[in-house]
A and B are shown apart, each in its own frame.
Chain A
Amino acid sequence: MGGVGILQYPNTPSLHNPSEKRRVIKTRSMKTATGKPARKLRVLIAKVGLDGHDRGVKIVARGLRDAGMEVIYLGIHNTPEEIASSALQEDVDAIGLSIHSAAHMTLFGEVLALLKKNKARDIAVFGGGIIPQEDIRSLKKMGIKEIFTPGAPLEEIVKFVKSIKSTRRKARTGNSA
Chain B
Amino acid sequence: MTNNLIKQILKGDARAVASLMSLIEDGDPKVKAVLKAIYPHTGRAHVIGVTGAAGTGKSSLIDRMTAEYRRRRKTVGILAFDPTSLFSTGAVLGDRIRMRDHFVDDGVFIRSFATRGSSGGVSAAVREGIHLFDAAGKEVIFVETIGVGQDQLEIAALAHMVVVVLTPQMGDEVQGMKAGLAEIADILVVNKADLSGADETLQQLKASFADEDFHIVATSAIKDQGIDSLVACIETHWSESLDNGKYQRRRLSLCRQELLSLLREKVFAKLAKKIGDDSFETQVKLIAERQKDPYSAVDKLAKLIGI
Contacts and interface: CB of A to CB of B under 8 A. Distances in A.
A70 B114 contact: yes
Q: Which of B29, B87, B90 has the most CB of A within 10 A?
A: B90
A80 to B, nearest CB: 10
A52 B117 CA distance: 34
B268 A34 contact: yes
B85 interface: yes
Interface of A: 22-26, 28-31, 33-40, 42, 61-62, 64-75, 78-79, 81-82, 85-86, 88-91, 118-120, 168-169, 171-173, 175-177
| Shortest Cβ-Cβ A-B pairs, 5 listed | A172-B19, A65-B90, A91-B18, A82-B103, A34-B269
B277 A31 contact: yes
B307 interface: no
Q: Which label, helix, strand, loop or mixed, suits the secondary structure of the B interface?
A: mixed
B92 A91 contact: no
Chain B's interface size range is 35 or more
A139 to B, nearest CB: 24
Contacts of A40: 26, 89, 114, 116
A28 B117 contact: yes
15 contacts: A29-B280, A34-B268, A34-B269, A37-B28, A65-B88, A66-B88, A67-B88, A68-B88, A71-B90, A73-B97, A78-B100, A120-B15, A173-B19, A176-B1, A177-B1
A35 B265 contact: yes
A22 B87 contact: yes
A73 B90 CA distance: 13
Interface in B97-111: 97, 100, 103-104, 109-111
B139 to A, nearest CB: 17
B273 interface: yes
Contact of B2 (A28, A169, A175): A175
B21 interface: yes
Contacts of A36: 27
Contact of A35 (B21, B27, B85): B27
A34 B19 contact: no
B256 to A, nearest CB: 22
A38 B18 contact: no
A23 B87 CA distance: 6
B280 to A, nearest CB: 4
Q: Which of B86, B103, B269 has the most CB of A within 10 A?
A: B103
B109 A37 contact: no
